[in-house]
Amino acid sequence: MKYHLLGTSGLRVSETSLGTMTFGEDWGWGSSKDESRKIYDAYRDAGGNFIDTANVYTNGTSESLLGEFMAGHRDAVVLATKYTNAPPGKDPNAGGNHRKSMMTAVEASLKRLKTDYIDLYYLHIWDRITPVEEVVRGFDDLVRQGKILHAGVSDCPAWWVSRAITLAETSGRSPFVALQIEYSLLERTVERELTPMAKALGLSVVAWSPLSNGVLSGKYHGGGAAKDARMSSDMMAQFMPDKDLADRVVTVLKEVATEVAHTPARVALAWLYHRDVNVIPIIGSRKIDQLHDNLAAADLKLTPAQVQKLDEASHVSLGFPYDFLNRPFVRGFSSGGMWEAIETVG
């Protein structure tokens, strides 16, 4: 296992993160306590130290199990959890990005996790309501109180994240160090704004659903059954990618997998390690063999030709203004006819 610095911080995290949304069976799927412990121990034995959870995962059971599993070696774990989401109810303040939600959630998470600090605390999803200043100040207060060490952000637009980081830097407050987003061969629209922003601002990209809910393992290709899917069929329908895109990408993915004599899942994860920004995939496994297969992806080196083959199969339009700016006519005028010469230098 290799390690990376998390964003602009000095914190060392493993190149693969263990997702624990499957820890607990409260949602009707997932892993039992015993199986979850085996997966956790196997990940730790492999050198992994970056654990990802959230306050709502399996109704809090994921955090509670991790609190037990970390006993005796808590400081050796880089623990990430999240706030914002809450089950539907009648309390308008139960969820959201606001300060009351943040402070209530962090205390509950600390209790379930049986710890007095969280290494990385994420805003889980943008609520489109709370002022950015309130979020930045809240995170900074938690850092100063020692309840969290670093702040991160998940599932937010690039303009909002950029604004938050700028506000933090200009006001002497703690900036975000990690950006958690869905990123895979079947979700590349993040390359329009989010990954370029992460690269420019020094954020580590933590990729959730890097196998697109198992689609990139190839198990659904050609009419494969979803008998071992980790979500219900209704929930899966909300997260499944476009079928034509999936069929095209998985076909090419299997071709490359045959060339390198590895599984499609390994190749799909390896593709993420070949991006031009620091990407840390979150692997969520319900079985030990899945975990070992996924961990092996970090050592798989694809050739430039294989990466290009996968890039072309999964290509998405960058849209305006990027497609416009890439037109030869526009590039020629914007550079005084010197685009090629300038590009070779920079």
Per-residue burial over 276-310, b if 16 or more Cβ lie within 10 Å, else e, is: ebbbbbbbbbbeeebbebbbbbbebebeeebbebb
Residue 18, token pair as written in the block: 């263990």
The whole-angstrom separation of Cα 185 and Cα 250 is 9
Contact status, residue 69 vs residue 37, Cβ threshold 8 Å:
yes
Q: Is 57 a residue of the active site?
A: yes
Contact status, residue 159 vs residue 185, Cβ threshold 8 Å:
no
| DSSP strand pairing (176-182 vs 204-208) | parallel
* Nearest to 52, CA basis, from 16, 6, 20, 90: 20
Residue 188, token pair as written in the block: 């590349």
Give strand pairing partners of 4: 13
Give strand pairing partners of 120: 80, 150
The whole-angstrom separation of Cα 245 and Cα 270 is 20
Give strand pairing partners of 153: 123, 179
Backbone angles phi, psi at 162, to 5 degrees: -60, -40
The whole-angstrom separation of Cα 253 and Cα 259 is 10
Residue 340, token pair as written in the block: 């090629």
Of 3, 40, 43, 57, catalytic:
57
The residues annotated with a catalytic role in the active site are 57
